[in-house]
Structure 1
């Protein structure tokens, strides 16, 4: 600005000839509390965890799932009997209730033995509790031998029946096998099949959805048409057709992995669409353009810059997809097209309850449906909590 212009300005509007260089007083600056500083410097994962903790139902569901998955590591120890241990004298025996007092005296955890009677008119086995047979429950004891994870031969159990007694807390099946023990063994198969299936689905969904969202154009159109074709097939009949194609002569382990791959191959479409929609928006951001100008390859841009931006959302989506795979395996095994004996899963156990007459006489054979319901609800509640916690707009 020239001197002439400076002279025409009012005295208050003129530029100052000197700058105030008063020293900076640190006491005048507002200090953050430790809690505020911790929040402002927290990572995305920490903020997701803080918001998730306020979702009580999601936290409780997460604890239940952790306990269920932890039990799969020691299924042989938790089960009172071996998975195929048969008791021919106690076929279709009802559940035994646990008692603490006998005739007014404290005995500790025990069950009453059975009093057996055969109805000659209906040929039905009738079992009633016998108060004369007090059978204390033993803890950390030796019982049926087994191979821990198929490697170590041992016979230690968390709980065992009394010597010469029985411990059928959930009753027995048509071969006299303890239902509780078989449900505990089935937990390992039914829960892990969901994790392995979601891993296959996760890899396919992220890869194919990432390619469609990053490149767009004819590549996106081709992948979207493929997804629509797959989703147009009825889900259960397609599962049944692919499962029936597995050779009957296969080893049960191969059948297990075959069912897992089938579930994963059919469940990746929803995840792929979620990844594609996110990448279509993120590829227009400045950090993506900067990475492209620096010469980064598309695989690096997708894997190191785009996917981490919404990984919490992907984890929530995966959590909601696992129950579908567990229900798929249960349905296939119930129909006889999934896992087959000697593999034990919740769906295999439910094949005992296909006859309505059997269920009417022995309703405890329907108990394997309880862990299925608990697991599916827990995954759904946990998935809802994770989705809310991962949403940056909430």
Structure 2
């Protein structure tokens, strides 16, 4: 048996060395120091140590941090502006980037394109012109834009050669660069998930907290409302509510409307989790002590009950965001969500609603790749946070 203070039982990173070494020596200075570190660790530190051991969740968190950082500078990252049309390159396939020319390692470049018309199949055929070497430019001047619609600028991370073109993921039916539109679309699709889950988070905590703490008739009504909302299929309900948004609304108002719809319909699961937690915690002695000292219901819930399982709420929120992103993508794909000129991943996928389009121009399905990657990353991150926050693990 090991001592109750055996550092091998701790999840701290400085204690992992003792897991496979000699038995615990209570007189060893380094092991005693490690034991003191574990004993003085805060719940947040212990949660962080456990989370770091979940490698997949850790890398998912890094990926999400990077992609959410990118939406702050999407104008700089995109090779072209959102409204740029290249009418000479309609439905152009993706270009390959080369670094070897005539057997030598050179600066990254692409080949120019030649276009011919296939009159038998009524389509454009593009081929590389190997004699036209177009060197890529980095941190260069390109299409002008307004950074966050505030600051005029024209600096881009990568640009085509002077007089050339750069379509790393191809173009659509209007000759617009798919990669640039994906980068711009990430800002809308990822933001709507954060804003929607913030609204549902607030509703779930307030409604579920009051129902669990007070109980009675209010709790009964809340449970019946939750059961009714959860019994209705999500997508038809989203479609019905999204369809009533007036077509005369501006794109910003439509964005706000879709966010409100997703947030107001996704609070039920969180409210039930909060209610079940508070039903057990409201009988604790520290709650009775707070009541005897004159604390109100709002203060008790906010300062004493909610912090006790906030880590579980954070894990639940990370698992809710993917549903928001999928909801916006589905509504926009069906044509009743966001509308141009706003660009999101769902709107980009509307270009690929036809089987013939997918067969002829498969690169128009590329916007589904970031959707899948973000959804998986959020699920892995949520699993890691849930395991790290579980006090019984």
- TM-score over 0.5 for the pair: yes
The answer for the alignment partner of 2:296 in structure 1 is 297
CA distance in 2, matches of 1:334, 1:28: 66
Structure 1 equivalent of residue 202 of structure 2: 203
Measured after TM superposition, the shift of residue 122 of structure 1 is 1.7
Gap regions ≥5 residues in structure 1:
1-26
Q: Pairwise mapping of residues 312-327 of structure 1 onto structure 2 (< 5 A)? A: 312-327=311-326
Pair 1:129-2:134 in alignment: no
In 2, the alpha carbon distance for the partners of 1:209 and 1:115 equals 62
Give the C-alpha shift of residue 32 in structure 1: 6.7
Q: What secondary structure, in the 3-state scheme, does the structure 2 residue paired with 1:248 have?
A: coil
Partner residue in 1 for 2:141: 142
Matched, 1:235 2:234: yes
| SS of match in other structure, 2:108 | strand
Give deviations 1:97-124, integer Å, cap 9, x for gaps.
Answer: 1110112122211111112111122221
- What's the CA shift for 1:233? 1.1
For the pair 1:309 / 2:311, whether they are aligned, the reply is no
Number of the residue aligned with 1:58: 57
Tell me the residue number matched to 1:6: none
- For the structure 1 residues 289 and 364, does the alpha-carbon distance in structure 2 shift closer, same or farther, using more than 3 Å as the test? same
Q: How does 1:1-394 map to 2 (within 5 A)?
A: 33-394=32-393
For 1:254 and 1:341, the matched residues in 2 are separated by 13
- 2:19 maps to what in 1? none
User: Could you report, residue by residue, the CA deviation over 1:63-118 in whole angstroms, capped at 9, with x for unpaired residues?
Assistant: 11001000001000000000110000000000001110112122211111112111
**Residue 28 of structure 1: CA displacement?**
9.5
User: What is the SS of the residue equivalent to 1:42?
Assistant: coil
Q: CA deviation at 1:133?
A: 1.2
CA distance in structure 2 between the partners assigned to 1:296 and 1:211 by the alignment: 15
2: CA distance, partners of 1:303 / 1:123: 65
Deviation at 1:161, TM superposition (A): 0.2
In the alignment, the residues of structure 2 paired with residue 153 and residue 164 of structure 1 have an alpha-carbon distance, to the nearest angstrom, of 23
Listed as ranges, the gaps of 5+ residues in structure 2 are 1-25
State the SS of the aligned residue for 1:342.
Answer: coil
Moved more, 227-236 or 72-81: 227-236
CA distance in 1, matches of 2:162, 2:34: 59
User: Which has the greater radius of gyration?
Assistant: 1
d(CA) in 1 for partners of 2:37, 2:129: 63
In the alignment, what sits opposite 1:17? none
The Cα shift of 1:29 comes to: 12
Q: What is the CA–CA distance in structure 1 between the aligned matches of 2:306 and 2:31, rounded to whole Å?
A: 33
Separation in structure 1 between the aligned mates of residue 139 and residue 28 of structure 2, nearest angstrom: 63
Q: 1:8 corresponds to which residue? A: none
User: CA–CA distance in 1 between the matches of 2:132 and 2:337?
Assistant: 42
1:362 deviates by: 0.2
SS at match of 1:33: helix
State the Cα distance separating 1:243 from its structure 2 match. Answer: 0.5
